[in-house]
Amino acid sequence: MSKVFQFGENVQGYSIPVLNEREIRAAAGILFMLMFISIQQAAAGDFTLLKYAIIAFLSDMLIRVFVSPRFAPTLIIGRWIVRNQTPEYVGARQKKFAWKIGVALALIMLVLVVIVNSFSPISGIICMVCLLFLFFEAAFGICLGCKFYPLFFKDKVQYCPGEVCDIKSRHEIQKTNWTHLLIVLGFAAFIAVNYLLFHRFFTEAPFDLFGITS
């Protein structure tokens, strides 16, 4: 029974239970797409998909935190997707804390959107926070919720993605300079110029090239 409710895996060479960051990122990507599409539909006035998405999100997080990550549906799918990739082990403690934040946010959304059947700036802000957390996890491997762990617990965070917990000098390939910054700023200026010159043209509705629709 203790094995069923165990949070994290005991892996040789690691002093604390760990999780596979690769499957966590894959699961975050799945949830991000689900929530993003749901929020888009809600913004258009249809909250149906968002209500189902909230229930799915909350259920998945509850399984992760109170049962075991190995039984969470999105993590199982993520595990299958990245099954041919070498695992990247990260500490389970900080992930559990981050997912508890997810549970809290999802519970608020369940009450406000699903049970009360309402919308407000509160639910809008929570949706944006969830999207931000999921996007950073999926795209960059950065667990924003984990950043709050040291504020509540004195024990040192161990085994972070990319070993960011450990103080080290950057490799040459990781370094950026003023040239790189100017390139990014130049690219932003290029997009701004495109907006100024072509916005009117871009806002024109496209025509059916093959005349398929009536």
Q: pLDDT tens digits for 156-177?
A: 777 777 666 665 667 888 889 9
Instruction: Establish if 202 belongs to a structural domain.
Output: no
Enter the pTM of the model: 0.84
Instruction: Establish if 94 belongs to a structural domain.
Output: yes
Instruction: Establish if 3 belongs to a structural domain.
Output: no
Give the three-state DSSP class for 91.
Answer: strand
CA distance 71 to 114: 25
CA distances, 213 to each of 121, 170, 172, 188, 206 (Å): 39, 55, 54, 37, 12
Instruction: Establish if 60 belongs to a structural domain.
Output: yes
Name the band, by pLDDT with cuts 50, 70 and 90, for residue 61: very high
Mind listing the pLDDT tens digit for each residue in 82-112? 999 999 998 888 999 999 999 999 999 999 9
Domain containing residue 159: 18-163
**What average pLDDT does range 117-138 have in this prediction?**
95
Instruction: Establish if 214 belongs to a structural domain.
Output: no
127 closest CA partner among 26, 31, 27:
31
**Rounded (10°) angle between helices 21-43 and 121-135:** 150
pLDDT, residue 168, reads: 66
**What average pLDDT does range 136-158 have in this prediction?**
84
For 149, the token pair is 């762990």
Q: Which residue has the tokens 């300079």?
A: 177
Instruction: Establish if 176 belongs to a structural domain.
Output: no
Instruction: Establish if 128 belongs to a structural domain.
Output: yes
For 177, the token pair is 């300079």
Instruction: Establish if 61 belongs to a structural domain.
Output: yes
Domain count, the chain: 1
